[in-house]
Structure 1
Amino acid sequence: MVAFVTIPVVSVLIVGVIKDAKINPQGLQFRLESATVPQLNVNGSELTATWDLTIVAVNPNHKLSTSFNSLQATVF
């Protein structure tokens, strides 16, 4: 009789632990927080500028951490 109660309870606990440990990686979310061009120089056909950008990266994963050695952004 004890086995009929113990086995389902242990099974439910094991399934709960496995579901909690399951990792569902999601992609990082990048967003442009702000962008300014404080100095824009036009010299004939040449255009030069200094850009001040703030890019925010959000990691929606609670069980996985992410780190970067470098980040490269391109402006089209």
Structure 2
Amino acid sequence: MEERLKTFLSRYLGQGTQKKDIVTQEAIDLLVMAATIDHFEQDIIDYGTTHPDAPFWDFMQFGHDGLLPGDDGTDLFDEDD
């Protein structure tokens, strides 16, 4: 399921018009990690399929705590990893 979600989300890479809104690989990886841990992978795929024009950042609503608008979550990555 993790690979399926990564493949699904890859279409969003680079999406966004402003620097702070551009979807990075790190943002995709963070969402995949959270979805895998909390088991909402299929929810993301279903929502994205039903709402093909929805921006990537709409998927953050599926996380338990979610991320604030404009926060791509990259600060959560440990530089030593």
**Class of the TM-score when normalised by the shorter of the 2 chains:** under 0.3
Q: Name the structure with the higher helix share.
A: 2
Q: Which has the higher contact order (CA 8 A, sep 6+)?
A: 2
Q: Name the structure with the higher strand share.
A: 1
Q: Which structure would you say has the larger Rg?
A: 1
Normalised by the length of structure 2, the TM-score is 0.20
